[in-house]
Amino acid sequence: MAARVIDGKAVAERVRARVAEDLERFVERTGRRPGLATILVGDDPASAVYVASKRRQCVAVGIADHHRHLDASATQEEVAAVIDECNANPEVSGILLQLPLPKGLNASALTARIKPDKDVDGLTPVSVGRLWQRAAGLRPCTPLGVIALLDAYEVPLSGAEVVVVGRSELVGRPLAGLLLARDATVTLCHSRTRQLPAVCARADVLIAAVGVPRLIGPAHVKPGATVIDVGINRIDGKLVGDVDFEEVAKRAGLITPVPGGVGPMTIAMLLANTLAAAQLQEEAESVAAGSAGEGVQERALSNALTDAKRMSEAVATGESG
Ligand code: NAD
C-alpha cells in the first residue's frame, strides 16, 4: 500500500495564517509591531534567495522588515557592530544572521553575539543550552518545523522509536533534543554509524537530515513507518531529498515529499519564532517596569512558549488532510 503523503505546504500555510492572526492581536494590545532583522553578508546567490524569501513571508504576515546587507568585504568588527545595533533596537524582535558567512569571518563568534531572546534561529550557545536543559527558549526553525509536521499528522512521539540520520548543529542535534523532550526514544546516526539500514529499520519515525541524495531506501524503512526527509539536494537542476521517495513510499505509512514537505515549514517556524521573541521581550519589559523580581526572564520565556505551544496545538488540530 502506498504511503500517505504529508502536505508541508498546507501545514505551513496554516502556521502562517495563525501567526498573522496572533500578530495583529499582539499589535492591537501593545501598539508594537514585531520586526525581524535579516543580516546578509556578501552576495552568495543561494543565501540571497533564502533571505529574500524570508523577508517576503515576514512582510506577508505583518512582521516589519529590518533587513541589513553588508558587503562581502565586511570585517568581523563591522558585522559585530550591526548585530549589537539590532540587539539594542527595541523595534527588532528577532535577528537572523544568514549562514554561511564569507571566508575570514568567524560565524560562531558572531552567532553567539546575538541576544538569546532575539535568537530566532535558536543557534546561540545559550539557546542550545536552554534546549538541552529543557528550559524555555527559542528553538531552531527546521527541527521545530519537523515536530509541527508530525503533530499536524498526529504521529505519536511519546515512547516511539525515532531515528534521526545526521548530527548537525542546525538540524540533527536540536531535533534529537526536541524529540527527547517529547519522550521519544531517540537514536542519532551519522557518517560513522555501522549498519545504518538495520538501525533505521527499527524506527517508528525515521528522519533523514544528511545531504546525500536518496541515501535512504526501502531497506532502511520498517513497513508503515513515518519518514521525514529534511534533505535538499540538487540533481540536474531538480530538487531531491535524502530519501528515495518512489521506492520508500511503497513501504512507509506516511512520508514527506521534496519539495513540499519540510522545506516550507522552516520559514513558517521562523515567523512563529519572531512573534514568540516579540512576546517574550514585551513580557520581560512589562514585568521589569513593575516590580522586577527573580525569574523575570524565565516567566517571560515560558509565557511566550505557552503561546507558541497553543499555536502548535492549533496547527495540530487543524485539518491535516
Ligand atoms: P550537514 O552537512 O551539516 O550534516 C550532515 C550530517 O549527515 C552529518 O552529521 C554527517 O555525519 C551525516 N552524514 C553524512 N553522510 C552520511 C552517511 N553516509 N550516513 C549517515 N550519516 C551521514 O548538513 P545539515 O545542515 O544538517 O543539512 C542536511 C540536509 O538537510 C542538507 O541536504 C540540507 O540542504 C538540508 N536542510 C534542509 C532544510 C530545510 O529547510 N528543509 C534546512 C536545513 C538543512
The alpha carbon of 266 and the centre of ligand 1 are apart by a number of angstroms equal to: 15
- Pick the residue whose CA is nearest to atom 36 on ligand 1: 231
How far is 118 from 133, CA to CA, in rounded Å?
Answer: 19
208 Cβ inside 6 Å of ligand 1: no
Count the helix, strand and coil residues of the chain and give each as a percent rounded to the nearest 5: 50, 15, 35
DSSP state of 253: S
Quick one: pLDDT at residue 197? Answer: 98
231 Cβ inside 6 Å of ligand 1: yes
Q: What number is the average pLDDT over the span 81-109?
A: 98
Index of the ligand 1 atom closest to the CA of residue 267: 40
53 Cβ inside 6 Å of ligand 1: no
115 counts as catalytic:
no
pLDDT for 158-215, tens place per residue? 999 999 999 999 999 999 999 999 999 999 999 999 999 999 999 999 999 999 999 9
DSSP state of 205: E
The model's pTM: 0.93
Cell output for 194 = 555501522
Quick one: pLDDT at residue 283? Answer: 85
22 counts as catalytic:
no
Q: How confident is the model at residue 285 (pLDDT cuts 50, 70, 90)?
A: confident
Check 54, 115, 118, 222 and give the catalytic one.
54
Cell output for 25 = 492581536
Cell output for 182 = 517529547
Element (H, E) at 80: helix 76-88
193 Cβ inside 6 Å of ligand 1: yes
* Residues whose CB falls within 8 Å of the CB of residue 288, separated by 6 or more in sequence, listed in order: 296
98 counts as catalytic:
yes
Domains of the chain: 19-115 (3.40.50.10860), 141-263 (3.40.50.720)
Q: What is the overall mean pLDDT for the chain?
A: 92
The alpha carbon of 9 and the centre of ligand 1 are apart by a number of angstroms equal to: 21
Q: At CA 122, angle to CA 83 and CA 175, rounded to 5? A: 155
Q: How confident is the model at residue 295 (pLDDT cuts 50, 70, 90)?
A: low
How far is 214 from 2, CA to CA, in rounded Å?
Answer: 18
Q: How confident is the model at residue 239 (pLDDT cuts 50, 70, 90)?
A: very high
Substitution candidate for ligand 1 out of 199, 210, 212, 216 with most atoms within 8 A of CB: 210
- Residue type present at position 179: L
pLDDT for 19-41, tens place per residue? 999 999 999 999 999 999 999 99
pLDDT for 39-51, tens place per residue? 999 999 999 999 9
